[in-house]
Amino acid sequence: MAKINRIGVLTSGGDAPGMNAAIRAVVRSCSYYGITCLGIHRGYNGLINGDIVTMDARSVNGVISRGGTMLYTARCPEFMTEEGVKKAIGTCKYLGIDGIIAIGGDGTFRGARDLAAHGVPTIGIPATIDNDIASTQYSIGFDTACNTAQDAIDKLRDTMQSHERCSVVEVMGRNAGHLALHVGIATGATAILVPEKELDMEQDVIEKIRLGRINKRSHFIIIVAEGVGSAMKVAEKIKEETGIDARVTILGHIQRGGSPSAEDRVWATRMGEYAVTGILNGKSNRVVCVVNDKLIDMDINEALEMHKDLPNEMYLTSKMMAV
Ligand code: ADP
């Protein structure tokens, strides 16, 4: 097995709270093992441009509690070309990078797979508030995003209650409804619209609001996952059919910010250490996953082929709670 002397770490794709905690864990684990850690700026752009800094154990002081990513993140279309990958490999050779830890989502792992195919060992760490990575039950950032959305909706609830309105809240999640489902359950939503499930607007939303009004319910919260489409249209329909004042709030990027929760900090720390130890043990083209609450690693190609469903029993529970 080739000796590993230098490991590079990057964050790529959409940011997620807890990425800094993962970077810190990678840096500190490298320091523990007595190897050099290099921080690569702006995802795969930094590998192409050589925008790279040396990180020592002290360079990550205090970052565990900070949202965002100290290494910056960016999309890098150039890396999706053969030319781009060659430039990145050239940088790895020039700087003596023996392994790369790539923190991000599925796109980031595709990039890591390309590097591994060209002989640079890589391990991916799942970080996305969407929690849509099929190979892992948990992705860094999801818990914090749920809590952020929950706090915002609790505040909305206060004013909706005073004015006896309906709040239609659009939450993030790209094409997945995990964030919407969790947040909807946590805030006692009347209905949760997710891309994975057909919903009967008349029966599951309008009728529930009508019944709620008869039963003297003062306000309603409807959660719409961004992958479903327009929250505006949902609000207009509610107004039209029930006469209730329905207001739209798009939570947007505040869901990606903020200090990471304990859950995110702990998983990020464990995943960062696991990835460094993995590279040192000769692993490559792997992604770190949480399966049955334990850390394992999986082949990136295998992981990318998997499909993640919305937990049906959770969805049914959410419907039972909405009365
Ligand atoms: P995420 O990692 O959150 O899924 P993206 O899909 O935007 O985010 O991917 C992040 C970056 O990973 C892209 O900008 C690109 O540099 C790299 N990437 C994405 N898809 C591929 C691919 N098929 N091949 C190589 N690199 C890719």
Instruction: Kindly report, residue by residue over 79-129, the tens digit of the pLDDT.
Output: 999 999 999 999 999 999 999 999 999 999 999 999 999 999 999 999 999
C-beta 75 within 6 A of ligand 1 = yes
**Measured in Å, how far apart are the chain's first and last C-alpha atoms?**
61
Domain of 217, in residue numbers = 144-256
pLDDT at 323 over 90: no
In a domain, 321, yes or no: no
In a domain, 312, yes or no: no
Give pLDDT tens digits for 274-310: 999 999 999 999 999 999 999 999 999 999 999 999 9
pLDDT at 322 over 90: no
pLDDT at 180 over 80: yes
Question: Average of pLDDT values for 254-259?
Answer: 97
In a domain, 266, yes or no: yes
Question: Average of pLDDT values for 213-228?
Answer: 94
Backbone φ and ψ for 309, nearest 5 degrees, come out as -95, 160
196 and 73, same domain (yes or no): no
> Among the atoms of ligand 1, which is closest to the Cα of residue 111?
26
Q: How confident is the model at residue 199 (pLDDT cuts 50, 70, 90)?
A: confident
C-beta 99 within 6 A of ligand 1 = no
Question: Considering 256, 285, 316, which residue would you say is the last residue of a domain?
Answer: 256
116 and 132, same domain (yes or no): yes
Q: What is the CATH number of the domain that holds 180?
A: 3.40.50.460
- 130 given a catalytic annotation: yes
Question: Average of pLDDT values for 36-65?
Answer: 98
Question: Considering 219, 241, 256, which residue would you say is the last residue of a domain?
Answer: 256
The CA 184 to ligand 1 mean position distance, Å, reads: 29
286: left (phi over 0), alpha (psi -120 to 50) or beta: beta
In a domain, 173, yes or no: yes
157 and 119, same domain (yes or no): no
Distance of alpha carbon 77 from alpha carbon 303, whole angstroms: 22
Give pLDDT tens digits for 123-166: 999 999 999 999 999 999 999 999 999 999 999 999 999 998 99
pLDDT at 235 over 80: yes
Number of compact structural domains in the chain: 2
pLDDT at 62 over 80: yes
* Residue among 130, 143, 264, 297 flagged as catalytic: 130
pTM of the model: 0.97
Residue type, 282: G
CA distances from 193 to 126, 145, 205, 221, 235 (A): 25, 18, 9, 11, 12
pLDDT at 1 over 90: no
Token digits of residue 146: 């749920």
C-beta 76 within 6 A of ligand 1 = yes
195 and 278, same domain (yes or no): no
3-state secondary structure of 80: helix
Question: Considering 219, 236, 256, which residue would you say is the last residue of a domain?
Answer: 256
In a domain, 128, yes or no: yes
111 and 244, same domain (yes or no): no
**Strand ranges for the chain from DSSP E:** 6-11, 36-40, 52-55, 99-104, 122-126, 166-171, 191-193, 220-225, 246-250, 286-291, 294-299
Rounded mean pLDDT of the chain?
96
Distance of alpha carbon 44 from alpha carbon 263, whole angstroms: 28
C-beta 187 within 6 A of ligand 1 = no
Query: Best substitution site from 10, 11, 12, 87 to test ligand 1's pocket, by max atoms within 8 Å of Cβ?
Result: 12
Rounded to a whole number of angstroms, the CA Rg of the chain reads 22
